[in-house]
Every structure is written in structure tokens, then in C-alpha cells.
A and B are shown apart, each in its own frame.
Chain A
Amino acid sequence: MMKSKIQKLLSGAAIFLVVYTLYFPSIVYAYSSAISMTVVPESAPINTPRTISVTYAVQNFCNYPTAITLDSSMVDTNGTLSIGFDYGVLLICALSFNRTQTFVTTYTPVKAGDLTVRARDGDASATALIKTVDGPRIRSKFDVTGLWWDPSTSGSGLSIIHSYSTTDVAVVSWYAHTNGAVVPYEFPPQRLPPTLSARWFSVQGLQWTEDGSVLEGGAAYTVGGSTCPVPLLPMGVGLADCPSKSSTLTAFARLRIKFESAKKARAEAILPDGKTLFIANIVPFDF
């Protein structure tokens, strides 16, 4: 009788271990996370808003951040801006599963000098520098409103609307392609229909930098919040997508456009890890 109880206990323990291992593998298996961070623009005059994008990648996770917090209490004492992570409720662990998410916040320096931005979560950390100089906000050198495209990739481009003569604010929409493949840095991974390879990005937090010839911002993608009433045609052509309210906006790259003139520019997309995604030599479409 006693032996039977021990056997049952051992069996129960074994089952528990199996279930525990399957459902909470990060306790058993290696857990890793990495943080990368970009500040746009890195260097600018006082009162220029900076867009801080923090990308958090985690593997074999049991929990992951759902938001970030910005702590500026140490700015005046040690010149550090701290970023912390808020966590959601733990539901289930995942084995061999990657999750990457980008969080975006802004900070506007009111004094000249250097600030260190530090994001830390456990062993993972990243730092970036915010340089602030005296002087007024930089104004643009050129009126750049128009449709800009690279002749070698006709069918893609940038739509730039620029209030050159008034507020000097510019808004940029970048229309590109994805091969109907998975868009990176997106959770859950979103696979586009193979015939619907067009993909656009909103460029946020744009600022004029350097001598007013550089426009920098963060490229972000939207995810629709509703289903279109128009059915997707399984083959052929049709209006497969429709206007809907965006449920999320997620930054994934930094876009830097260097204007040589109002007729010539170089656009560069830079991923959070510093790698260049592409470089395009763009000109305004003349019509």
C-alpha cells in the first residue's frame, strides 16, 4: 500500500516535471533577451523633440514587456535618462519562440549638453546619446514637397508634404514592397497575400538636422484594426484592402534623407541594430 502511494507520488512528480518543462521552458532552457535603441535626431538644438525607439527582442520567453517608462529624474544630477520596462500578465511560456517589439517615446531637452539614455532589463541593456546644442531649431534649406522616387526602383517612393513657408513641418509616407513576405519585427508575424506586396510606412517624429539639409524620422507600420468588407479575391485583381482604423503603430527603422538640393536627395533606412536596410538615390517626380 505504502509502495503504491510512493509510486503514485513519483508518477505525479514526473508528470508535473514534464508539464512544467513543456509549459515553462524558460526556467529549464536558456532564456535570452536583447535591447537596442535609437534616438532621432541624435544631435539638435534645445527644444527639439527626440524620438526614442527601444527594440526588445526575447527568445524562449515566459514574459515580455508591454510598455516602457521614461524616468528623467536623474537628468540634472548625472545626465542620465532611464528607460524601464513594464510587464504584462504571465499566461504561458514559449519554447524556441522569438518575440521582438519596438516601443517609442519622446523626450525634449531644454538644456544644452549631452544626455545618456539607458535602457536596462536584467542583463540586457542599451545606451544611446542625445546631444543638445544652443541655438534655435534648425529650419530646412529646401521646399521638398513632392513625390520622390529612385529611378532604379520605379514603383516605390516617398510622398513628402512640407510646410516650408510656415511651420517647416514635414510629413513623409514611404511606399515600398515586401515580396508578400513576413514583415519583420511584427508580432504575430503578418504574412501578406502573395499578390499584395505593396506595403507603406509612416515616418514619424521628423526633424530637420545638421544644416537644414537632413530630414530624420522613424519609419513605422500600421496594423489594421478591422476586417474589410470587400472579399479578397483568391486570384486576379481587386480592391482587397480598405480604410480601417489602425490598432497599432510600430517603429522598425530610422529614415534619414539628405537633400543635396530641392531636386536630389539620398534616403537611407537604418535598422535598430545599426545596419543599413537600403540606400536610395531619389529625385522628385516632375509633372
Chain B
Amino acid sequence: MKKIPGAAFAAVLLCCTLSAQADDPTAGSDGNGLAKFTRTSNWTVGVIPYASFSTTPKFLYLTGPCLKPVDIDLSRLSIRRIDVRANELLDCAPNGTASLTVPLTGTYLPGSYSVFSTGTSRAGAPLIFGGFEVLNGAPGKPTMNITGLWYDPATTGSGVSFVQSKSGSNIVFGTWFMAGGSWYSLQQLEWNAAGDGLEGVAFEVQSKTAACPNATPCPAAAQTLVPVGSVSIKIKGPNDIYIQAFDGTHQSAFASNLTKLLF
């Protein structure tokens, strides 16, 4: 089986994300195995995707009211633990919400992981910790081909387009279309052991600015591919799928009961 969507489409886009992170003075690595990025006081952390296999790319998700520099300490991965270490414990005015995702490096053995913080905010607010799961084994094989256009009769105008590999690699790409006009690219979709469900990541693709002349829509090269949530897909029948989106802290965002458009 081909290795996960390392293939061009995802790779091209992912490299854009990584390079964009590297350009960000608040993100990147400090050269000592610690991924530097920004933190908020009184914030929440999580990992996207929430449940995945060892080899699946993972992203730390962070959200809160303000941003200050912190480090991600991956030295305790063997005991299924990640530490988010604050360099300083300054407090910030809760005048809004910021969030970001950072690619996680390291080797992840199966099990339940916790993400801890080493401090509290100056105001004494706890730094909330989260967790994620690394699944045993390897992705399974699908029980059916889900290529097609799927929609929820309750929200017509929105829907999901799935394209499954013709070459037998079992790779699936999805595009989740929203009636509001935006779309999310569903990637890193991996079959569960039973082959009746997939777990993956919803990415928001942001284009280069000034790519579309005269404010018209057009194809544009991606500038960043940002993981914005996890997706869980359960196949309930040949024409019946349940799909659910979770935010970076594994809180359910929305879900759809999808029916395959037959034509």
C-alpha cells in the first residue's frame, strides 16, 4: 500500500504550511528539540487528529485569550506525555481569542497521551491540558469505495465530495463544501481496522494574496494549509455515512448524516 497521502497534492500543500510556520518569528524550532511557538495564558491545548496511527502527521492545537512565547517539550514521549512549558507567566487581557496549530515531531507509540503545562497564569488561572490517542497497528482496508458526492438532506447546498484511489492504495481525499461558500480539504484520512470508518484532518487552504484580479474568484496557489479540526467518518451503509467534525480540543463542532447522490 502506498504511504499515506505523502503524495504530491498533500505534500505540496503541507510544505507550504511548514514553510509559513518557519517564516513566523513566533514559530519553529529552537534547535534543541523544542518546538518554539506562542502560548496564551489560560488557554486550551489539543492534538489534531485526536485519534491516529503512529505514522500519521500530528498538529498541536492551542487556543486562548493572548499569546506569549512557550516551548513544546517532547522529551517525555516514552511515557505518553507532552509538556507545554511557559517561558514566562505573564498574564494577558482576555480581549479576544487566538489560536494556532504547530506540526508535532517525534515518534509516537500507541496509547493515550496527555498534554501538560508546567505553570499557571499570573492570575492563577489553570493552564488546561488535553490529550490524544495513538492507535495500535496500521490503517485497515476499506469495506467499500466511497467515491461520490454526498449530502445531508437537512442541509442541502452543503456536502462532501469523496474521491478514493483507483490504484488500490485505499487513499481517500474529501472536500467538505459549506453553503456559506467556504470549503475544507479532508486529508490524512485513514481507515480504521474494521474498514468501516475513517479518521482524518480538516484543512483550511489559504491562498496567496492578490492572486485573483478584480476581486473575482479564481484558482490560486495555496499559501498555507492549516489544520482546523479532526474529522471522523462512519460508514453506515452503501449510501449512508455519518461525518463529524471536532475542533482542536476534540469538542464536537458539527456533524452531518450524509446520503450519496445517485445519478
Contact = CB atoms under 8 A, between A and B. Distances in A.
Interface string A100-127: 0000000000000000000000000000
Interface residues on A, range: 35 or more
A154 B254 contact: no
B225 A196 contact: no
Contacts of B61: 237
A155 B99 contact: no
B79 interface: no
A246 B163 contact: no
A161 B147 contact: yes
Contacts of A237: 61, 99-101, 204, 226-228, 248
Interface string A251-287: 0000000000000000001000000011010000111
A176 B185 CA distance: 12
A235 B26 CA distance: 15
Contacts of A47: none
A246 B207 contact: no
A235 B98 contact: yes
Interface stretch (B4-12, B123-131, B133-141, B233-241): B4-12
B169 interface: yes
A196 B155 CA distance: 21
A224 to B, nearest CB: 4
Contacts of B152: 243
B181 A192 contact: yes
Nearest to B12: A154
A181 B178 CA distance: 18
Contacts of B161: 159, 161, 173
Interface in B150-173: 152, 154-159, 161, 163, 165-167, 169, 171, 173
Given A237-B101, A243-B152, 8 more contacts: A145-B163, A179-B209, A222-B179, A222-B181, A235-B96, A237-B228, A243-B155, A246-B179
**10 smallest A-B Cβ distances: which pairs?**
A246-B157, A155-B222, A236-B99, A224-B180, A177-B207, A156-B219, A243-B158, A153-B219, A181-B215, A224-B179
Interface of A: 145-147, 149-150, 152-157, 159, 161, 163, 167, 169, 171, 173, 175-179, 181-184, 190, 192, 195-202, 221-225, 228-230, 233-247, 249, 269, 277-278, 280, 285-287
